[in-house]
Amino acid sequence: MSSYAKFLKELLMKKRKYFEKETIEVQRNCNAVIQKMLPPKLQDPGSFTIPCTIGDLEVGKALIGLGASINLMPLSMFKRIKGLELKPTRMTLQLVDRSLKYPYRVAEDVIVNVDKFLFPVDFVIMEME
């Protein structure tokens, strides 16, 4: 039981007395909310893209997924990249609409070149339209 729930239970069962004027010390972040000292809310910057190269294929602008936990690549793009090895997978992807999708294969440790940086990335290859 949370401390707040416990407090309410004690208050309702009259095990704890309610004082009209009680001083409660609030933390810094609560204080900012109460005094309306929060910084102004900015516009949504939207999605952003970066130029990158995967293998020998130059991808003009790749969409950055902030916090994405899986890297998807269409099968059509995979076929244009030479020298990648595919491995079978038993993975199942559940989409937001609760439908299930089964990947074609997985490509592991694919070198992705972003500006002057090289990253080894695992891609899930999907048959997409």
| Statement to judge: residues 62 and 114 lie in one domain | yes
State the pLDDT confidence band at 56, using cuts at 50, 70 and 90.
confident
Instruction: Tell me if 91 is assigned to some domain.
Output: yes
Average pLDDT over residues 19-30: 64
| Statement to judge: residues 30 and 63 lie in one domain | no
Please give the pLDDT value at position 36: 66
What does the alpha-carbon distance between residue 42 and residue 87 come to, in Å, rounded to a whole number? 44
What does the alpha-carbon distance between residue 73 and residue 128 come to, in Å, rounded to a whole number? 9
What does the alpha-carbon distance between residue 53 and residue 63 come to, in Å, rounded to a whole number? 13
Higher pLDDT, 39 or 87: 87
| Statement to judge: residues 66 and 113 lie in one domain | yes
| Statement to judge: residues 59 and 122 lie in one domain | yes
Averaged pLDDT score across all residues of the chain? 80
| Statement to judge: residues 12 and 66 lie in one domain | no
Instruction: Tell me if 39 is assigned to some domain.
Output: no
Domain count, the chain: 2
How do 49-54 and 93-94 pair as beta strands?
A: unpaired
| Statement to judge: residues 60 and 120 lie in one domain | yes
46: left (phi over 0), alpha (psi -120 to 50) or beta: left
Q: Which domain holds residue 10?
A: 3-34
| Statement to judge: residues 54 and 114 lie in one domain | yes
What share of the chain in percent tops pLDDT 90?
17
Which domain CATH number covers 117? 2.40.70
